[in-house]
């Protein structure tokens, strides 16, 4: 443990020495007079990290460009210790005494390293999760439309198709402009989702008046495009169905939290169906624990034990989060 601590300490101190060397080089060649104290400079580097992570993972377009430029300014001024705006407005934070020590600088550097590492990890995790949620919300209507056209049930097929054609343009508009990290390098993504939209749009008249079995075959052509998108971007089907289950599970959590047994019982079949999709892909001990917790909540609701619902639902969510954090 002591060796680990010493290695980190030495690494952090090396970073400080590296920054000091940059300062000496810049100041020697450009004769910059510092007007930022050490706290000011560390805060600027910290702000740089937050802005850079925000630009890289969370936004697109002109906002991304603005954040990149502003974050670069924070980094440059933090490293050099000189701020042009300070000079214009005659501000000089070096006049404010801030005591420094090796341990304080070490802690500050570790905080910056952790912010960058954890910020990047969780930004990647949650942007991927949100993408899957948006994808599943749209894809569920596609799957239902596909199913009901195959069953030759026009009313149900038309209803789900219409909902799909409301949801899909929202998905298309968002993700042709914004690419989260998980699909950032997918050069075919925009073309594929635009192609799917055109295919779906061409079926509008047929879904209302045409041969539904023929429509079903045309809808089937969308499936391999979806599967290829997921495959080439490293999505596991388990991750997809886990997010799909989560959205349904939240309905049970909400009902349990307000002690609504009848509402919980009403949504249970949907949640059960989503969990079955998970179980078809993986049904190990962790998935079985989720199933057990779900059944426990359902049994409590059937027996009218409303006061126990919220706590048991919390156990259900906890068991899901454990699986999703590891395998989602």
The dihedral region occupied by 92, where left means phi > 0, alpha psi between -120 and 50, and beta the remainder, is beta
Q: Phi then psi for 211, rounded to 5 degrees?
A: -80, 110
- pLDDT averaged over every residue in the chain: 90
The answer, yes or no, to whether residue 28 has pLDDT greater than 70, is no
191 pLDDT above the threshold of 70:
yes
pLDDT recorded at residue 11: 47
pLDDT at 16: 55
Least reliable range by pLDDT among 100-109, 184-193, 203-212? 100-109
The token pair that represents 212 in the structure block: 């539904």
239 pLDDT band, cuts 50/70/90, is confident
Asked if pLDDT for residue 9 goes beyond 50, the answer is: no
Quick one: pLDDT band at residue 7, thresholds 50, 70, 90?
A: very low
Separation of CA 48 from chain center: 21
The token pair at 153 is 């049930």
* Three-point CA angle 295, 237, 264, nearest 5°: 25
Q: Is 189 in contact with 226 (CB distance < 8 Å)?
A: no
* Phi, psi dihedrals of residue 151, rounded to the nearest 5°: -90, 0
Q: Is the pLDDT of residue 207 over 90?
A: yes
Kindly report the pTM of this predicted structure. 0.79
Encoded tokens for 322 = 């454990």
């Amino acid at each position: 443990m002591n060796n680990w601590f010493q290695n980190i300490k030495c690494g952090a101190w090396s970073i400080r020495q590296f920054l000091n060397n940059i300062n000496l080089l810049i100041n020697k060649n450009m004769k910059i007079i510092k007007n930022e104290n050490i706290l000011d400079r560390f805060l600027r580097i910290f702000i740089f990290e937050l802005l850079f992570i925000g630009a890289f993972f969370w936004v697109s377009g002109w906002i991304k460009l603005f954040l990149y430029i502003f974050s670069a300014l924070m980094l440059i001024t933090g490293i050099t210790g000189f701020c042009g705006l300070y000079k214009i407005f005659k501000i000089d934070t070096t006049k404010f005494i801030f005591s420094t020590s090796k341990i304080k600088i070490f802690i500050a550097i570790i905080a910056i390293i952790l912010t960058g590492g954890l910020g990047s990890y969780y930004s990647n995790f949650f942007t991927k999760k949100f993408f899957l949620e948006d994808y599943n919300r749209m894809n569920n209507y596609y799957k239902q439309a596909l199913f009901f056209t195959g069953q030759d049930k026009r009313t149900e097929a038309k209803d789900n198709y219409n909902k799909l054609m409301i949801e899909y343009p929202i998905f298309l508009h968002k993700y042709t402009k914004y690419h989260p990290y998980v699909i950032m390098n997918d050069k075919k993504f925009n073309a594929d989702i635009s192609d799917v939209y055109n295919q779906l749009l061409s079926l509008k008249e047929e879904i209302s008046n045409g041969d539904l079995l023929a429509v079903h075959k045309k809808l089937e052509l969308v499936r391999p495009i979806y599967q290829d998108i997921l495959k080439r971007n490293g999505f596991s089907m388990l991750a997809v169905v886990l997010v799909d289950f989560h959205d349904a599970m939240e309905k049970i959590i909400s009902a349990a939290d307000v002690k609504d047994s009848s509402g919980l019982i009403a949504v249970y079949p949907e949640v059960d169906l989503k969990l079955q999709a998970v179980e078809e892909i993986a049904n190990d001990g962790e998935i079985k624990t989720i199933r057990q917790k779900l059944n426990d909540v359902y049994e409590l609701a059937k027996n009218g034990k409303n006061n126990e619902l919220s706590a048991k639902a919390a156990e259900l969510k906890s068991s899901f989060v454990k699986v999703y954090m590891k395998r989602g």
